[in-house]
Structure 1
């Protein structure tokens, strides 16, 4: 697992390049041990990326990530794990490593429910009704644990005894927003909380659109409820 974490954290090596490296070398340890001549054969790789791979062989940061995971009860899911959903692997920029808390289930069908942070009572009722309908159809609910529509979808799913997945844009040792700590704890008990970011990663505006692509990738369908202007829900759609 340490080589998967290493490859996912090498500077200038994003998910697309990581996938290309794995297509050439088959596993992260082979990438770690590769020489310049071998790395040059990877499609689309740049000199800066090759230099970054060769210059970042220290495992100290990887050890720190894995220690922090153990300390905070966070597990690591590599993309070669059979539990990694096939639907979530399809985008070329799918993370090669995910951090998670909770239980990973086989999800025959999924629906993403996202929307406005500020919403009406009518919107809340619509979300609850929609969520309950999908739960009764044995469909998993995917959202982002944000204020408003997203948190109502998670809550309605839990109340109906369903399975829900919360996708976060920060490390799982941090609850964001902080007032959703209880909700996060309840999701972890019966559902799943995931992030592509290691422990200690703070929530930041630029990370949320990247988080939204994972909601899209994990969802067979997407329902957008009462989105605000410039809303992240539109990015997800």
Structure 2
């Protein structure tokens, strides 16, 4: 409780963004220790200069963290800081985690997020029939395999992702660019209420915060931070979903994209992601197979964390099948050093099409990673 007060107090200080706040905590071990540090000690933190340091010293002199917490909890009772056990560990791993996150809905989903895999599903606000169909297919499989679906409750792909997950009795978390009590866009009113009862709404903005264009790119970092992987189902070249994908890549999370038609402007963003090294989604089981290669959490513990979930037998994440001779031969040629597609074709003395088809299979199994420029290395 005490450390929570210091997170709140530091978060209100001018000049301290999420990156610097996390750096402050890392330097001193706790933010309570940072609060009692001398001005000279504050200057030891990278990013705090004389101007900011003197401002922080003056700020501490006129603020009582415990009194601030008492007042804040009366106005905004439903929030977490990184000092709280409910704060998602996965989110705190990113460079700029929100110091305060407000919530509404099923609180046990926060515990489930510590134990179960999660995938961000994002895309255009104006998906084609193809984009809608693949968003539904993917989220249906994720729900069946007890994978938490994270999205932003916008129009289009976000809406279909949340809706299909709930329709499939799955778990979903919506990250908002408004307060969790605000409905935006208005078309999502029923879905917003449904998630508030069956899922979890999260935001770094307090209740009453209206929509603001500046909030949504920042919101995207939370979607990426809450997800072990991010899938873009359909996106044009300037889609905000590409920001989420880039952030996920920066955070070391896997990025997937559904390939689309070269004639469809809504596919340009996904095709560019694939060109830059994102993994292609070729079937509705691609994400499930990839998650099967990631370190898994304790599924029995996850069931215990969610009332009612243990009664439904979850489909197990599939085990990677034995490699065929062709796959084994290609895999043996690939090392930790990147090699081009042309180099592989030359070494294997096989047709380009056959090598490429085998590489796709190895990528789906998580054994090979495609890099920009059609280069490959061990995954």
| TM-score, length basis structure 2 | 0.57
Q: 1:223 to 1:56 in 2, by over 3 A?
A: same
5+ residue gaps, structure 1, are none
1:148 aligns with 2:156: yes
What's the offset of the Cα at 1:161? 0.9
What is aligned with 2:30?
27
What is aligned with 2:95?
92
Q: Where do residues 218-233 of structure 1 align in structure 2 (5 Å cutoff)?
A: 218-233=226-241
1:50 to 49, 53, 62: 53
What's the offset of the Cα at 1:154? 0.4
Q: 1:158 to 1:105 in 2, by over 3 A?
A: farther
SS in 2 for 1:99: strand
Determine the C-alpha separation between the residues in 2 that align with 1:202 and 1:7. Answer: 24
- Contact 1:32–1:53 under 8 Å retained in 2: no
- Contact 1:145–1:166 under 8 Å retained in 2: yes
1:209 to 205, 210, 217: 217
Number of residues of Structure 1 aligned to a counterpart in Structure 2: 233
Q: 1:34 to 1:171 in 2, by over 3 A?
A: farther
| TM-score, length basis structure 1 | 0.88
What is aligned with 2:76?
69
Determine the C-alpha separation between the residues in 2 that align with 1:32 and 1:182. Answer: 44
Which runs of at least 4 in structure 1 moved beyond 6 Å after TM superposition?
none
The higher relative CO (CA closer than 8 Å, separation ≥ 6) is in 1
What is aligned with 1:6?
9
Flag the structure with larger Rg: 2
- Contact 2:7–2:83 under 8 Å retained in 1: no
CA RMSD of aligned residues (A): 2.1
What's the offset of the Cα at 1:110? 0.8
5+ residue gaps, structure 2, are 246-379
Deviates more, 1:157-166 or 1:77-86: 77-86
